[in-house]
Structure 1
């Protein structure tokens, strides 16, 4: 694929930077804290979920909820998850939205998952979660009104009448056991569709048996440290897309430092409002040898520049990818975490995407992918985990499932592991005042052919660090 053909083109969907970055790398011959475990539920944790439907129409579902603390101690809402079960249309993807909520829409998340045992009236679920800003819930108190909705991403009609959790006659709030609620993991309210009952998660404290793995603590002196190349990494310097036309990829802006006892890699992206003054950053593995298994990284996203005016359409990433051999080639693969702190691609503000790619054509643009997204700030450190096996692709953020994507997007070929930070365009901020943005990375982990829970990934990282291991790569070159 020609990187020059992509330069300067505007896209309206996620995942753009990776394809051009990978192609450019091929042309150039480039070949602190741990992940957080789910909190344990308090011994007397108990909630009820009250539900009403606000729309029985065909364009969107509107399940409205109140969560009631029926226990005897104050409950942290960040530990609560509510699931609404429905029957998905074949091939459809869905978009969640919050219209209004007493706890604040910014403190509510909505992600979609797939049931392990589909039934006639449920094969998917919408999981509602709460950010720390939602606060606590005293005994006997409820969250107040949460006016939520979801629709097909293409806005085609949907049928709610075959949805397990839909109550067509529920036009006022009341207890509803066809939705479930969990606190810190265990289900404490409601009944899931048959065959999908609650199960306690496995003990997360012990890492699984040893297997081929890559671990890097990014303990280097600078971008010229010979150990970077010896450990299989390349710091990008070659020109080309994605991003602002005329920008350069500046290896000197990939730096390393200590934060506490942890070594940290920093990717700096800067601009003064023109292509000539814009510098992007990227680091990637030379070899494409990674496929099924678990990928994990601890990444610090930034909402604001280190200095100068804010507002640039920035993309901060962690992803794995291979090369597109021909337009719409069916052996292409790409799996992304992409954070846009100031919007872009048609979004007006913060959004975090996870995207799984089957294939695409650069010109004219055509894409086959599936994505999940949450429109909220993700400034700060976050634990990102991706698992790929022979049946599904699952994304986790801070120990919670963020998105689950279909088997049709599974990889056919091995991939590289990449981090980059770049500007989509210069439309977000027109100032010529210099500004720079930072994306930090604490570590990266890949465990070949093993699906780890986020807590198991945390345990494996902790084991490396307690043993003083800064780097290990036992993943065979054949993938």
Structure 2
């Protein structure tokens, strides 16, 4: 358990002598896409770039949007944030992450990769407006006139300086020259791509917490008492459900309280086997800043983490890697904060924590793609493709761990009105012994879903 208080048809390359550029032809004659672009921010410098995009299906078969990746290339000097202002397909289905180019060019050293979690683009149809924007994390102005994908037009028109990939293959546009090799085709859901020594993927397509497939597939829904959290609280399997959200089933943790210990419900889903160690962990998680019912203000913790049990005080084989979001603060923090924490060990009494953490005081409400890479003595945490933290040294784990999600109350703020908070998880992924980029994680998850694979586990038991 988490214990602060205890603690991502082949492109056709025309000869340079004929065209001078690389153009994309559709992945197949039946499935063809075209992209149009305009902007609502035309200045050479701006506080935020505003690429508005429209994707058109000019083929004869539908295009699953979760197979589509759109890349807008630009230069930057710092951390950027992505936002969807409005979209006909719904901003809740639109994702954005920033990826550095392996070989920068003068007009681009990174790209914004836009994806979709669900939906289908029918033949002859278009997505309608995708009103997107991105900005520096410090909100300083930046120059966009020298960016590869930027254009100052204010009416939609075909734009080949934004690339579109369908199922991992270039389907439209001219990528920034020299800096953007075509991504590998999406991983086959039936195998272990790259150097992986085993893969776990779960889309959480279950009927409820008593579904026998949960145990058969290596999951445990917690029911036993104890920490972390409010003394006297229960851990309720009944509060762990699998509703359908935007066409996909999700894991939902519904933690609640009436202001008393005995009236407090915590929730947790954990793997039964400790078989997860070096490799890449990923999950798409929805955090919430407010309860779905009742008054707000509770110090609640929403998590995705790995952990090794503590055999004794200051056990050197203990390990824990945490994403922990506190929407209302706690542990001395007055407001929302995201922690990533890597643990060496701890002692409960008197309390001594041996860990390192990185935090950001901001709201993380909504859906986020979380990735942890554990390799070569370093633990790297990513949120929506952005490197959030890089830990190592004594905080690198030594032994296999469980993989967990839980939601629990640090303490209680008083009052008897019942209040319930939700944390949701769309999918979880793990590749043993392999460093997988956040963008490639998206490709692989998209491949599983395109093949209607809701679960696979080829990770050997440790």
TM-score of the pair, normalised by structure 2:
0.64
Change in 2 beyond 3 A, CA 1:377/1:287: same
The one of 281, 284, 296 equivalent to 1:295 is 281
CA contact (8 A) 1:78 1:134 kept: no
Match of 1:430?
414
Distance in 1, matches of 2:308 and 2:391, equals 18
Distance in 1, matches of 2:148 and 2:263, equals 50
CA contact (8 A) 1:344 1:424 kept: yes
Match of 1:336?
322
Match of 2:77?
82
Match of 1:455?
439
Distance in 1, matches of 2:334 and 2:274, equals 35
> How big is each residue's C-alpha offset from its partner over 1:297-343, in whole Å with a ceiling of 9 and x where there is no partner?
01110111011100000000000011111211211110000000000
Match of 2:449?
465
In the alignment, is residue 347 of structure 1 matched against residue 318 of structure 2?
A: no
CA contact (8 A) 2:341 2:356 kept: yes
In the alignment, is residue 269 of structure 1 matched against residue 251 of structure 2?
A: no
Match of 1:366?
352
CA contact (8 A) 1:16 1:242 kept: no
Distance in 1, matches of 2:247 and 2:281, equals 23
SS across alignment from 2:294:
coil
Q: Show the 5 A alignment for 1:24-423.
A: 68=45, 82-83=77-78, 200=179, 203-204=182-183, 206=185, 207=187, 208-209=193-194, 211-423=197-409
CA contact (8 A) 1:390 1:410 kept: no
CA contact (8 A) 1:396 1:402 kept: yes
> How big is each residue's C-alpha offset from its partner over 1:168-201, in whole Å with a ceiling of 9 and x where there is no partner?
xxxxx9x9xxxxx9999xxxxxxxxxxxxxx957
- RMSD (CA atoms): 4.1
Distance in 1, matches of 2:253 and 2:219, equals 14
In the alignment, is residue 440 of structure 1 matched against residue 424 of structure 2?
A: yes
Change in 2 beyond 3 A, CA 1:465/1:136: closer
CA-CA distance at 1:391 after TM superposition: 2.7
Change in 2 beyond 3 A, CA 1:80/1:218: farther
CA contact (8 A) 1:204 1:455 kept: no
CA contact (8 A) 2:274 2:401 kept: yes
Question: Structure 2: which 5+ runs fail to align?
Answer: 8-36, 38-43, 53-71, 80-111, 113-130, 151-177, 188-192
Distance in 2, matches of 1:406 and 1:442, equals 29
CA contact (8 A) 1:74 1:136 kept: yes
Distance in 2, matches of 1:298 and 1:406, equals 24
SS across alignment from 1:460:
helix
Change in 2 beyond 3 A, CA 1:275/1:80: farther
Point out the structure with the larger helix share.
Answer: 1
Distance in 2, matches of 1:403 and 1:144, equals 16
CA-CA distance at 1:431 after TM superposition: 1.6
CA-CA distance at 1:434 after TM superposition: 0.5
> How big is each residue's C-alpha offset from its partner over 1:355-414, in whole Å with a ceiling of 9 and x where there is no partner?
111111111111111111111111111100100002311001011111111233211100
Distance in 2, matches of 1:317 and 1:144, equals 24
SS across alignment from 1:229:
helix
Change in 2 beyond 3 A, CA 1:227/1:70: closer
SS across alignment from 1:276:
coil
Distance in 2, matches of 1:328 and 1:448, equals 27
> How big is each residue's C-alpha offset from its partner over 1:411-455, in whole Å with a ceiling of 9 and x where there is no partner?
1100000000000001xx322101100000111100000000001
Change in 2 beyond 3 A, CA 1:342/1:220: same
Change in 2 beyond 3 A, CA 1:183/1:473: same
SS across alignment from 2:250:
strand
Distance in 2, matches of 1:145 and 1:382, equals 20
CA-CA distance at 1:134 after TM superposition: 11
> How many residues are matched?
333
SS across alignment from 1:215:
strand
Match of 2:4?
16
Distance in 2, matches of 1:403 and 1:68, equals 30
CA contact (8 A) 1:81 1:183 kept: no
Distance in 2, matches of 1:361 and 1:182, equals 53
Change in 2 beyond 3 A, CA 1:254/1:80: farther
CA contact (8 A) 1:354 1:371 kept: yes
Distance in 2, matches of 1:200 and 1:392, equals 26
Distance in 1, matches of 2:224 and 2:4, equals 18
Change in 2 beyond 3 A, CA 1:396/1:473: same
